[in-house]
């Protein structure tokens, strides 16, 4: 079996920076309150002309440049997003056209904020058995939550930013790359996070617009309890399946949901020797993009070295949880 790992990575954050003070008043809070409750200081906002596909395409171009590959060398292109350009077609098809990846099968994955982790596993499995001349896949996490927020709702308006991150997957040296993944869904808790209107159950109408049904809604307390109950357990399960001790992990990259919550959870993971990587102070919660954006920071800063163990853990609506364990492959000869 081939070893598949990350051979290129890139991210794109829109130019517009939005401070806490710019959104605090409408949410009925202060900028200081946002920092104290979330650890977030600012976030990026997509320009009016930018759609999710635009952010995804730019992150993809940067990842391809880092990998030294052309877009037409990609066999699979998957976009993880819960804010697609439009209901149909898949945003991945639009990205495929934008970057010229015309040989790639393209489709979307929606596991909300854990979508990138799910997509990473899907494409890795596709590439393991790839016998063709182009055994490369492009996995992108991209979201523009600024378009679906109710800015009077302090539970959600303060948390999110816009952005995209992309990874190119391909053959790596034996022993490197993706070692283990675990994907879990708890559909009984699906109402904790949702956009209720705009689908087949509640089609768009004047009533759904008036009722705010197209806004993102979240039961913050319920989500926190769900994450506290399930995420540390899933991390321990992944490490057990991989036969790796917690003390061997050098880097931990979680979904960048809330810095205060992650600080409270940190002791529960048992990763005392690992470095916790956070980018939410500057970028906030970028949904499916938060993990690849943070991985791109590891690459940009040289924080992770080839062969070091990186553990990824994300959670999102559904409720979904995804974990990956990989041996860092970027920079390997």
Active site residue 113: yes
Q: One of 113, 118, 258, 324 is an active-site residue; which one?
A: 113
Residue identified by tokens 């913050």 is 220
Q: One of 20, 110, 118, 255 is an active-site residue; which one?
A: 255
Active site residue 255: yes
Q: Which residues pair with 185 in a beta bridge?
A: 320
Rounded CA-CA distance 306/165 in Å is: 20
> Which residues, 6 or more positions from 14, have their beta carbon under 8 angstroms from its beta carbon?
44, 45, 46, 47, 50, 55, 162, 163
- SS3 (DSSP) at 303: coil
Q: One of 110, 258, 285, 324 is an active-site residue; which one?
A: 285
Residue 100 main-chain phi, psi, to 5 deg: 80, 30
Q: What is the DSSP letter of 223?
A: H
Give kind and range of the element (H or E) at residue 20: helix 20-27
The dihedral formed by the CA atoms of 130, 311, 145 and 26, expressed in degrees to the nearest 10: 180
Q: Which residues pair with 164 in a beta bridge?
A: 12, 142
Catalytic residue positions, numbered: 113, 255, 285
């Amino acid at each position: 079996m081939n070893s598949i790992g990350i051979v290129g990575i890139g991210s794109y954050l829109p130019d517009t920076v939005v401070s806490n003070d710019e959104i605090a008043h409408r949410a009925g809070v202060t900028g200081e309150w946002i920092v104290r409750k979330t650890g977030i200081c600012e976030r990026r906002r997509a320009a009016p002309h930018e759609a999710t596909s635009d952010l995804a395409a730019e992150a993809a171009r940067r990842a391809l440049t880092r990998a030294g590959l052309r877009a037409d060398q990609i066999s699979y292109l998957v976009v993880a997003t819960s804010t697609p350009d439009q209901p149909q077609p898949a945003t991945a098809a639009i990205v495929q056209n934008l970057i010229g990846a015309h040989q790639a099968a393209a489709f979307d994955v929606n596991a909300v904020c854990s979508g990138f982790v799910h997509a990473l596993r899907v494409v890795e499995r596709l590439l393991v058995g790839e016998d063709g001349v182009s055994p490369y896949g492009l996995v992108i996490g991209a979201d523009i939550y600024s378009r679906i927020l109710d800015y009077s709702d302090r539970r959600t308006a303060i948390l999110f930013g816009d952005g995209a991150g992309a990874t190119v997957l391909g053959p790596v040296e034996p022993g490197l790359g993706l070692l283990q993944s675990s994907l879990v869904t708890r559909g009984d808790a699906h109402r904790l996070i949702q956009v209720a209107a705009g689908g087949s159950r509640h089609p768009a109408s004047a009533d759904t617009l008036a009722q705010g049904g197209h806004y993102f809604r979240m039961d913050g307390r319920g989500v926190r309890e769900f994450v506290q109950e399930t995420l540390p357990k899933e991390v321990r399960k992944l490490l057990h399946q991989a036969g790796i001790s917690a003390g061997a992990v050098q880097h931990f990259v979680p979904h960048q949901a809330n810095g205060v919550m992650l600080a409270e959870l940190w002791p529960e993971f048992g990763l005392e020797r690992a470095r916790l990587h956070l980018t939410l102070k500057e970028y906030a919660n970028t949904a499916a993009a938060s993990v690849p954006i943070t991985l791109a920071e590891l690459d940009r800063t040289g924080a992770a070295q080839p062969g070091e163990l990186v553990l990824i853990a994300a959670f999102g609506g559904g409720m979904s949880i995804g974990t990956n364990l990989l041996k860092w492959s970027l920079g390997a000869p």
